[in-house]
Structure 1
């Protein structure tokens, strides 16, 4: 299936995902979903009871894609492939969301300190009647963090818009001893998997 419109819609507010798409030369237009009142979010991102991390991140990503597809139709926008993604951090089977305050951020960093955790990023592409999805999982090992390190990091703006309370592309990179998986996936968009999905939707990367 060949797409006659090389541009895609990106349904994400993440600046990191925009940077990563530009890195591989993908032309995109933002298609934003609601996240706040008065009418509430378009996609409910609460974790369901006993929902496993991989199931959760895949479900939320596909719900975003389907919702964005409906928005495209309602607004009578040109039909283009839509890309969505969602990232979650998990340790001991527990999903770590975005910390709401300094106390939550510090608690997350103490939990990650000196241990390995997983970062899961699911990517979905929807176009016409077709949908493609892939979930990438990376293992990240943190060094042991001292309280002054945690305090200093939590005094920055870095932890508060990122799953798990940190971003590999920022100062928290100095906490990471090793990774096994995808650096771009930990940032929020695994480029290998993303390219594969877009090519299935008819978007030529190279």
Structure 2
């Protein structure tokens, strides 16, 4: 299974994390996604998706991209898969910019928005696949898993549960993924 975009995303995220740990300022001040008026620069909507807050943060995101990305890229083709990931990252950043305009001006980092777009696409393209929760280990059909995960993200974002996590960015990435797949299905039907 050839998946060059997935491999590139993994390599780029890992390389940038290593660079981030070696840079005197950690790259966060310039490349994280800052709220509008608080240091925001246009490139941050993309650059922030390659920064991570910790090795665990990086590991979880890369495991998700590896797990879902390879199969999605094989099914969709590399260019469509790259488009899916990019739109999901941009939708996550836009959603986060709106969400933080009502809260504390803190920077956002991570590939989670892109990963949530991949989750949405996976649920649509592979609706009969089972995904297993870690706690408790219950296998669920992919669409139900993603729906429950999205409901938790909405709950956590509204209530402030698990502060320090960009819950609304996750939801934005999920919506970005859904929009890309919806547009793809509409084009296929019109042919």
Which of the two has greater helix per residue? 2
Which of the two has greater strand per residue? 1
Same fold, TM exceeding 0.5? no
- Report which of the two structures shows the higher radius of gyration computed on alpha carbons: 1
TM-score, normalization: structure 1? Answer: 0.27
